[in-house]
């Protein structure tokens, strides 16, 4: 049987402050900010910020909801870390870079024969840089992080589960993954030829209390898998229904992709996403991705009301390819976004 999902599409987590999130992803992780928009669900306006590699490829897209209104609780039934790949031999650079930014990290560790460093986002989210000599994707460059050491995209996610059997069954039977290794409490699932952006690692933590499932500061919310098109999305929904995973959502319009969501037996929310025509460049030029707050047409008439609920933010100048590649390299100065309004979230 051919399955629609080809690997990871994006990972979404709830951060704290918007600016500290932008600073973390654009300066510490070194991704390019590719979209400023808002969370499309609920009564409150929250940013939805997107970061990615040089080509803004699915499988590299990290998205965050800065979500100060509610604190999340970390635990099982949740993604416990999101891993990026970096080139072989680059971890000493990353140790120095993380130390320079005073980012808490674990030093160099190893899982399934791959060296990695785990480090913390200001809201307490965990990320990793993991060496992968096979991954040829092009990372973004910043004044501090040249292309040869930059993050290329995702390796995968590590998911904490209290038991592994039914979660494995979900990824294998419903999504076409296969189990490719067990090392201590880590169980590795891969799809297709495996490797970068095709890996989900389960961490068996039978005694760990459940983490929160709501949007909440400092907790991952979901992992999204890439499917080729809307037809494949409908096919995936059919697979879930046939197997009895009847709690799959309806197909949702996320502007840049179309999505379905289904919670796996271990508790982690799994989205399948089909990139829409035009992708992230459908509403702004590729060279200017991430510079302005963009709203979907159905929210545009409420722009003033929405903007008034958001924290003012600044995007680094080197977010533009021409500046990033400029003579002598760009300096990490910042430029104001094209809107500045009161930050009601901070005063609550």
Residues in contact with Fe ion by CB under 5 A are 12, 224, 271
Q: To the nearest whole angstrom, how small is the minimum distance from the Cβ of residue 249 to Fe ion?
A: 11
Q: To the nearest whole angstrom, how small is the minimum distance from the Cβ of residue 11 to Fe ion?
A: 8
Q: To the nearest whole angstrom, how small is the minimum distance from the Cβ of residue 146 to Fe ion?
A: 30
List alpha helices for the chain, DSSP H: 18-23, 91-100, 165-169, 230-243, 303-307, 321-324, 344-347
Question: Measured from the CB atom, is 143 or 290 closer to Fe ion?
Answer: 290
Q: To the nearest whole angstrom, how small is the minimum distance from the Cβ of residue 271 to Fe ion?
A: 5
Local structure of residue 217 (DSSP, 8 states): B
Backbone torsions φ then ψ of 21, nearest 5 degrees = -70, -45
Grouping H, G, I as helix, E, B as strand and the rest as coil, residue 98 is: helix
Q: To the nearest whole angstrom, how small is the minimum distance from the Cβ of residue 275 to Fe ion?
A: 12
Question: Measured from the CB atom, is 12 or 78 closer to Fe ion?
Answer: 12
CB of 330 closer than 8 Å to CB of 323:
yes
* Nearest to 308, CA basis, from 334, 273, 339, 266: 339
Exposure on the CB side of residue 149, measured as CA atoms within 13 A: 17
Question: Measured from the CB atom, is 48 or 208 closer to Fe ion?
Answer: 48
Grouping H, G, I as helix, E, B as strand and the rest as coil, residue 256 is: coil
Q: To the nearest whole angstrom, how small is the minimum distance from the Cβ of residue 222 to Fe ion?
A: 6
Question: Measured from the CB atom, is 39 or 172 closer to Fe ion?
Answer: 39
Q: To the nearest whole angstrom, how small is the minimum distance from the Cβ of residue 200 to Fe ion?
A: 15
Question: Measured from the CB atom, is 151 or 224 closer to Fe ion?
Answer: 224
CB of 37 closer than 8 Å to CB of 295:
yes
Question: Measured from the CB atom, is 128 or 271 closer to Fe ion?
Answer: 271
**Angle, alpha carbons 256-259-45 (nearest 5°):** 65
CB of 199 closer than 8 Å to CB of 190:
yes
Distances (CA, A) of 73 to 13, 47, 58, 211, 262: 12, 20, 28, 5, 21
Q: Is 168 exposed, middle or buried (0-12, 13-18, 19+ CB in 10 A)?
A: buried
Q: To the nearest whole angstrom, how small is the minimum distance from the Cβ of residue 17 to Fe ion?
A: 21
Question: Measured from the CB atom, is 135 or 271 closer to Fe ion?
Answer: 271
Distances (CA, A) of 296 to 37, 38, 40, 253, 272: 8, 9, 9, 10, 20
Question: Measured from the CB atom, is 18 or 224 closer to Fe ion?
Answer: 224
């Amino acid at each position: 049987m051919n399955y629609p999902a080809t690997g990871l599409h994006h990972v979404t987590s709830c951060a704290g402050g918007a600016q500290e999130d932008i600073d973390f992803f654009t300066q510490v992780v070194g991704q390019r900010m590719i979209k400023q928009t808002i969370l499309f669900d609920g009564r409150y306006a929250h940013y939805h910020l997107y970061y990615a590699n040089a080509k803004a490829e699915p499988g590299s897209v990290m998205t965050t909801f800065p979500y100060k209104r509610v604190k999340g609780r970390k635990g099982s039934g949740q993604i416990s870390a999101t891993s990026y790949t970096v080139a072989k031999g680059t971890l000493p650079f990353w140790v120095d870079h993380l130390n320079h930014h005073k980012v808490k990290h674990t030093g160099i560790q190893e899982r399934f024969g791959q060296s990695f460093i785990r480090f913390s986002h200001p809201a307490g989210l965990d990320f990793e840089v993991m060496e992968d000599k096979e991954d040829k994707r092009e990372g973004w460059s910043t004044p501090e992080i040249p292309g040869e050491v930059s993050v290329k995209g995702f390796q995968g996610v590590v998911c904490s589960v209290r038991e592994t059997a039914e979660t494995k069954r979900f990824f294998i039977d419903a999504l076409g993954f296969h189990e490719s290794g067990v090392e201590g409490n880590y169980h590795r699932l891969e799809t297709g030829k495996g490797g970068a952006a095709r890996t989900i690692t389960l961490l068996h933590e039978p005694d760990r209390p459940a983490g929160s499932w709501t949007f909440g500061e400092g907790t991952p919310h979901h992992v999204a898998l890439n499917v080729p098109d809307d037809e494949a999305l409908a096919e995936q929904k059919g697979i879930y229904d046939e197997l009895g995973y009847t709690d799959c959502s309806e197909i949702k319009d996320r502007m840049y992709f179309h999505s379905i969501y289904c919670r796996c037996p271990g508790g982690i929310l799994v989205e399948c996403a089909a990139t829409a025509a035009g992708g992230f460049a459908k509403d702004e030029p590729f060279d200017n991705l991430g510079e302005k707050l963009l709203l979907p047409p159905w929210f545009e008439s409420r722009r003033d009301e929405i903007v008034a609920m958001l924290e003012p933010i600044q995007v680094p100048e080197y977010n533009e390819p021409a500046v990033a590649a400029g003579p002598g390299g760009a300096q990490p100065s910042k430029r104001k976004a094209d809107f500045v309004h009161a930050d009601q979230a901070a005063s609550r």
